[in-house]
Amino acid sequence: MTTANTRAKPNDRYGLVVAGFAILTALASFLVPLGTLSRSFGGEGALLIHPGRILDFTGRLPTTLPDFSSVTLVAWVLILALLTMAGLAFTRSKWTLVAGVLVIVLTIIDLALFVRAIDLIQAPLLAAGTAYRRLPFRNLGPNLWLFLSIFAGIAAIVYSLAQNEARARAFAAARGGLVPVIAMLLSIVVGGVVILILQGVPGNDLHPDALSSLIGKIDLLWFSYSSLLGPALPKFRPSLDLSGIWQSLSLATPLIFSGLGLAFGFRTGLFNIGAPGQIVFGALFATAVGVYVPGPWIVIGPLAVVAAAVGGGFWGAIPGWLKARFGSSEVINTIMLNSIAAGVLVFLIGANDYKFFGQTIHFPFKAEGGEAKSALLGEGARLQNMVELFGLRTGQNQITLMLPLALIGLALGWVFSRGDFRRRGLTAGAAGIIGVVLGLILPKITLNISGSMTNSGLNVSFLVSLLAAVFVGVFLWRTAYGFDMRAVGLAPKAAEYGGVNIGRNTIMAMAISGALCGLGATHYVLGGALTEYRLKQSMPADIAGFGGITVALLGQNTPVGVIVSSILFGVLGTGGLNLDQALDKVSREIVTVLQALIVLFIATRGFLPSSFFKPAPPPKELEPDKPKLEKPVDKVNA
């Protein structure tokens, strides 16, 4: 239908929300800290609040404080800009876009001024030979207010862009993608309330008055979430250090596998809660090949990876078969199979001698020692650590930027090109080559490989997980089999009528889903992420397996979504350790709670009204009939 002559009316509510958020941000400047000057180990912060006020919970600030007058000045301008932007958004002015960009630019300038003010104190000390560790204000950082103002700016820009009719329709079409975002925001809010209930403000005794306590609480929230997300960021001083992101990617790898498995299940109408069991069976099969089949790595390496998939696929096919043959729910069966798999694991590597009806039988699978573990894998079956793969050594390394630039080029080329598969592929390849050339031209940089980076356990299985994501994408959306399976997931009756064998498809889908989950074992066993190249009972199959549920739902059951949300949870897992250490009353299991809340909020579709998901009604003059009552969609993201 053509609606070119009817100008799309932007919903007034959104303008109000954007304006209200901007005004709140402007007002909040007097309560929400702008920057953190310093942070003690227990989470106590020395905070800068807008009109140049410093609130010190650490009690350890040096006497010479930085001069923040320029920061305050720009902050005043920023507040003015926010208020102007609110007015513009409220009147739906075209200039909202400009104001939004201005707010973001001003925020970045303010942050830069903040860092510079502290740098002015640090630089002379550093020049005088003070060790980096002994510098004052070493743990400086931005605080919540700057981020609020950036969000306000982004909101205004998005709102302003959505004034254009075509873009408004594009945004409206993508509004389903809002659910995971809202679910995450809601769970952050609930998690924040939980943190505030559990944990008092660190260092509150120094400033027990009500206002300081309130500011302290706001900072506690900021500190909690920034320490959940922060450790994954690269550190640039004293030299580039990527151990946080490596640790995060290492935690993300098994999540990617199980998330892909779960997403595959959801797409085919199956809820596979059996990922933990499938990981265990993948691990058992992979270990069997790795330990007991000798051979060169070129044969045994791929064979062991395939064995992991076969193991997981076998364990996944059982509930698939039970469902197809007897109609029993895969949900309860997979849960039972998880427990059985855990029992099998304990049986095989927990002890060597078992008594059956009084007779002792010897099993050779457990290795010597107190811990329940298998024998070491043969050299051929081991997947290399990524640090070794890149030929890096612990300590300072000179590296070129060739690889990251090539990858960025590939990604950009793919995303920003139009046309068919081949054309986009060629563009991406060309952009990748430009990246390589750039990497050769640009000077080398110093990368610090710390012990924690080598020990993070990130290995080649991460690359395998990316391949698996490509497989899922291609299989489900580019092959006839995948089409059949998705058809069964969307409408089993219709698919059956269309000639699809539902039973066979169910078994196949569960087997593939299980195989994807089972591949997660490559990370733990073949990749040596359990600190040694062997299977151990301590393998966290439950965490990886159940995490896959959240990851799949958060990623909207798409391969890219699964990868992104897995990395997010890898980051949170890495940060959880830091939070655990800093705050005595908050456990890192708060991350598990956040995961569960995200699942709950996605299941309830972010508490958005169902009218939100209905397609926009056609323009009045084109309206054909009375709109019929729609049958609600009751599958999440299916």
Partner 1 sequence: MNFRSPWLIAGAVFIVLLIALAIVAPSSAVVAALAVLIPTTLRFTTPLLFAALGGLFSERSGIVNIALEGIMLFGALAAAVVAQQVEAPFLKVNPNAALPWVPWVGVLAAMLVGGFVAWIHALASIKYRADQVISGTAINLLATGVPAVILQYFYNNTSDSASVINVLPLWGIGSVQFSPLVYAAFLIVPIVSYVLYRTPFGLRLRSVGEAPQAAASVGVNVMRMRYTAVIISGVLAGLAGAYLSIGNLDKFNRGMSANQGFIALAALIFGKWLPWNTMFACLLFGFFKALAIRLGGDDILPSAVVDVLPFILTILVLAGFIGRSRAPKAIGRPYP
Where do contacts with partner 1 occur on this chain (CB under 8 A)? 194, 198, 271, 273, 322, 325-329, 331-333, 335-337, 339-340, 343-344, 346-347, 350-351, 354-358, 546, 549-550, 553, 584-587, 589-597, 599-600, 602-605, 607, 610, 632, 634-636
Residue with tokens 């009218």, as numbered in its chain? 611
Which tokens is 436 given? 């390589």
What single letter denotes the amino acid at residue 445? I
User: H helices of 400-479, where?
Assistant: 402-415, 421-441, 451-454, 461-478
Which structure tokens are listed for 27? Answer: 């007002």
- 3-class SS of residue 373: strand
Q: How far apart are CA 223 and CA 260, in angstroms?
A: 32
Least distance to partner 1 from the beta carbon of 327, Å? 6
Token pair of 148 as six digits = 């609020």
- Both tokens assigned to 246: 């490596």
Contact indicator for 89, 96 with CB cutoff of 8 Å: yes
Sign of CA dihedral 587, 55, 140, 569: positive
Backbone angles phi, psi at 351, to 5 degrees: -155, 165
CA dihedral 282, 285, 286, 287 (to 10 degrees): 120
CA torsion angle for 157, 161, 163, 167 (degrees, to 10)? -150
| Least CB distance to partner 1 at residue 196 (A) | 12
What residues have CB less than 8 Å from 31, skipping those under 6 apart?
49, 214, 215, 218
Q: Which is nearer to partner 1, 80 or 603 (CB)?
A: 603
Secondary structure class of 305 (helix, strand, coil): helix
- DSSP 8-class letter at 176: G
Nearest CA-CA partner of 396 in 430, 333, 447: 447
Helix (H) or strand (E) holding 56: strand 53-56
Q: Rounded CA gap, 209 and 149, in Å?
A: 27
Closest CA to 125 of 116, 117, 134: 134
Specify the length of the chain in residues.
Answer: 638
Closest to 45 measured CA to CA, from 53, 55, 31: 55
Using CA atoms, how far apart are residues 268 and 368, in angstroms rounded to an integer? 44
Minimum CB separation from partner 1 for residue 77, in Å?
Answer: 42
SS3 396: strand
Contact (Cβ atoms closer than 8 angstroms) between residue 224 and residue 549:
no
Q: Which is nearer to partner 1, 183 or 308 (CB)?
A: 183
SS3 142: strand
C-alpha separations of 31 from 17, 106, 196, 308 in Å: 21, 19, 17, 54
Residue 47: HSE in the Cβ half-sphere, 13 Å Cα cutoff = 33
- As measured in angstroms, the least distance from the Cβ of 357 to partner 1 is 5
Nearest CA to 278 among 20, 562, 539?
A: 539
402: burial class by Cβ within 10 Å (0-12, 13-18, 19+)? middle
Q: How far apart are CA 313 and CA 274, in angstroms?
A: 11
Which residue's CB is nearer to partner 1, number 331 or number 502? 331
Q: How far is the CB of 547 from partner 1 (least distance, A)?
A: 9
**Element containing residue 99 per DSSP (H, E):** helix 96-127
- Which structure tokens are listed for 51? 């009109």
Q: Which residues make Cβ contacts (< 8 Å) with residue 335, sequence separation at least 6? A: 273, 274
Q: How many CB atoms lie within 10 A of CB 207?
A: 16
Gap between the Cα atoms of 84 and 153, Å rounded = 12
